[in-house]
Amino acid sequence: MIQRILGQFVQEFQKNGSHSLLPHLRKTTSIKLSRRFNHNNANSNAEPIPPQTTKPEFHFVTSVDKNQDNEHLRLIFDSPEIWSDFVTRCQTIAALEYGNSLTNKRKPTGLFGNPELATPNGFRVAAKKALRRVHLLVQRIVKANTDDELRKVVKNLDRLSDTLCSVIDTAEFTRTAHPDQKFTQAANWAYEHLYSYMNTLNTNTELYQVLKNVISTPRISSKFSTEELQVAKIFLRDFEKSGIHLSSAEREKFVQLSDKIITLGRKFTHNQPQRPINYIDVDASLLNELKISSVINKKANIARISTKPWDAQVVLKHVKSEKVRKAMFIASNSATEEQVKTLENLLKIRGELALLLGMESYSQIFLIDKMVKNPENVQTFLRTLADRHRTKALEDLRLIQIAKQQEIQSESLPTVYAWDRDYYTEKIKESSPTQPTTPISPYFSVGSVIQGLSKLFSRLYGISFRPAEIMPGEVWNEDVRKLEVIDENEGKIGIIYCDLFNRFGKYQNAAHYTVRCSRRVDDDDSEGDISTELNITELGELPDSEPGETIKGRNGRYQLPVVVLMCDFANPTNSKGPSLLNWLEVETLFHEMGHAMHSMIGRTDFHNVSGTRCPTDFVELPSILMEHFVYSPSVLSLFAKHYQTRDPMPIGLIHSHLNARSQFSAMETQYQILMALLDQLYHSNLATSSTFDTTSILANLQDTVGLFPSVSKTSWQIQFGHLYGYGSGYFSYLFCKMLAGKIWKDIFEKDPLSRDAGQLFKKEVLRWGGSRDPWLCVGKSLKDERIMAGDSKSVSIVGEWIDCL
């Protein structure tokens, strides 16, 4: 019915003609990963209509209406007028359906449809209710003494995890995205309160011992499903990584070291923007009349230039004088002694923590539950990749050498330094005859891209998007759209909230947030949480039990996944038209939707392994794979149409941008390899050495693996923010990029719209979430037993796939 009403308005709008629009360009954005149990993730009044004696007939759009339905999807993102009308008419329909007075607004709900979160205080209430349920579950688990109760231990641990994460995950998103400070403060309180409690559970010896006994008792564990056994092992490993096996004194030291790591990590992150050299003074005549916003004339012929990232980039890209570029590079990559000391202390404390746990290095702790398993395998992967890829990277370097040779009129190829890279790559791109001159953003409105994603998923997986009603209070901003994810066989399988447009104070990076994971709920046995010994009147209110929904073809009832996609695109307006994206922004949206599809399709029985709750060196595979589809002409033909004329993007324009994209990509990959190796060395046993020196380690890597000589008086490592939040895991992006490239090449490249290819990837990878060995997922997709083995040889083979980058 919603689609039918919207369709009527769309037809009226199209009769009146569309608006003249202008392109809007935004910067490239980044990604965010989800977490698991061990957290180491406008309302308008209804229009008056004639009274009816019977309720209107409600129906879903049929296949006959698919083309028009796709237009509805596009226009609710591209036209504020249609979006506003859609919201209004949804409320009108709701009023009729529920028999409300048309002059009254529908009863408000709370965030994500949770009435409890209609006010900021709801987060405190939700947190306290969750803790009551968790306390009951803890007691139930530790007192389990019958086979029936012991058989439920893994299920109850997963319910415990879901109870906490349902509040923690919602709170984490809200404290990041909500424009109301009262909501963000309340959400932050709930997050920190429950997060702290979760850390105490990770060191609960009674829970650990019960779980360990259950796993080691064949009469119990032999009845576990494969998924249930995987969940049990994950919980056991998480306990052990938290020092559960240590003595009381050692556990106390573990907590102290963990607290130090958090304190040093925050200090490292907070100090990053600070520079010991805030400006450089240069001969103004050397700036080639370049206009830099922060130049202050100290004297008539001297220019003072800020070393902030934006100004430094302008100088490094556009100033001809090598002397000026060198001065800027050194100044903008310098560090204070305190900044370097903070980083080195952080890395040393992580090393001490590893030694306390009986490990050789922090990297060994981090990698134990990842695909690569250990530091040696990561080194094998990165060194194999570096050696095989270096030839391509040197080809890029030679182009820069030739350009520099021509400019400085040298008889031989000169040495290229780090301050030369951006300047000469920019010159080469500008002088290239194949450099695109026609913008592509008019072909990429946000609505068109969402429409294209729905069409693509329909072809591959039989899944599409349907605009959904938003109740008053359900979202945090009136620009948020809600999509129901519809499977052609199973019906509704999840919800995606799309917070895609810019607003003041909004988090600027792109992200995929898991608000609620999928899991089976009909077998929860929540009544069994309350023992006969408890006084129910003193217990207090508990969270409502999730009723779940039935899914065609599956037994039981399931809690459906809910996620949020957040981006920072320009706002559409009625006067200027839709938000238009550059190619990198389209790639970003495809990337984040890859995470969302993993969440939607990976609907497992257990919360702890659903969707994106899988190893970090596997979780980026579905999202990076989606980036390949952006560059397929057959996929672009589904949606890349001019926002005014609806003409398809010319094939020549596609090819020119594809060629431009590949320029100097090998050099960039070599740089990523260097950073991944640096991350591994910093988290190796070198960190606990008395001679540990992060600057020397970086310089040595630059001189042996990098393309440019190391530069004295610089300490770029303090700008490597991932060292805290993603420590020892930076290689994961490259690793997943290789996996995704291989799957694209072997499965999708020949026919990117093939249902058979889509079903294979869905069957072998997406539907498992984190419940299956990732090596088995990838190996079965590729039909390669060498990969299924998941050993050091498998890792080395992945490193050889350089043609898949």
- For residue 482, give the 3-state DSSP assignment: strand
Spatial separation of the C-alpha atoms in residues 98 and 109, rounded to whole Å: 15
- Whether residue 618 contacts residue 774, with contact meaning beta carbons closer than 8 Å, is answered with yes
* Bridging pattern class, strands 481-487 and 491-501: antiparallel
Q: How many residues does the chain have?
A: 805
Instruction: Please give the angle made by the CA atoms of 50, 55 and 58, to the nearest 5 degrees.
Output: 115
User: 302-306 and 296-299 as β-strands: parallel, antiparallel, unpaired?
Assistant: antiparallel
Question: Residues 273-289, buried b or exposed e (16+ Cβ, 10 A)?
Answer: eebebebbebebeebee
- Whole-number Å distance between alpha carbons of 108 and 472: 5
Collapsed DSSP state (helix, strand, coil) of residue 487: strand
**Alpha-helix runs per DSSP H in 490-632:** 536-539, 583-601, 616-619, 621-630
What letter represents residue 236's amino acid?
Answer: L
Give which of 258, 359, 378, 367 is closest to 616, Cα–Cα.
367
By the 8 A CB rule, do 127 and 167 touch?
A: yes
* CA distance linking residue 787 with residue 48, whole number of Å: 63
Q: What secondary structure letter does DSSP report for 648? A: B
Contacts of residue 71, defined as CB under 8 A and 6 or more positions apart, other chains included, come to: 10, 451
Three-class SS state of 567 = strand
The β-bridge partners of 464 are 486
Tally of CB atoms within 10 A around 438: 12
Tokens of 60: 């879903």
DSSP for 247-286? -HHHHHHHHHHHHHHHHHHHHHHHHTT--S--EEEEEGGG
Per the residue annotation, which of 592, 620, 627, 764 is the catalytic one? 592
Cα(663)–Cα(555) distance, integer angstroms: 51
Q: Which residue bears the tokens 């026919």?
A: 751
Tokens of 57: 């007939």
75 vs 267, 449, 528, 615, 725, CA distance in Å? 45, 11, 49, 37, 38
Q: Dump the DSSP string for 212-252.
A: HHHHH-HHHHTT--HHHHHHHHHHHHHHHHTTTTS-HHHHH
Contact 21, 643 (CB under 8 A): yes
CA torsion angle 144 149 150 152 (round to 10) = -120
- Does 592 qualify as catalytic in the annotation? yes
How far, rounded to the nearest angstrom, does the alpha carbon of residue 633 sit from its chain's CA centroid? Answer: 26
Residue 562: phi, psi to the nearest 5? -130, 125
Structure-token pair, residue 713: 């008086």
Could you give the strand order of the β-sheet that contains 519-520, starting from the edge strand earlier in sequence?
A: 519-520, 557-559, 549-550
* Pairing state between β 519-520 and 549-550: unpaired
Measured distance CA(309)–CA(273) in Å, rounded: 9
Phi, psi of 52 (to 5 degrees): -120, 150
Transcribe 442-481 into DSSP letters.
Answer: GG-BHHHHHHHHHHHHHHHHSEEEEE----TTSSSSTT-E
Q: Which two tokens stand for residue 478?
A: 């009136």
Relative orientation angle of helices 309-318 and 322-332, to the nearest 10 degrees: 150
What positions carry a catalytic annotation?
A: 592
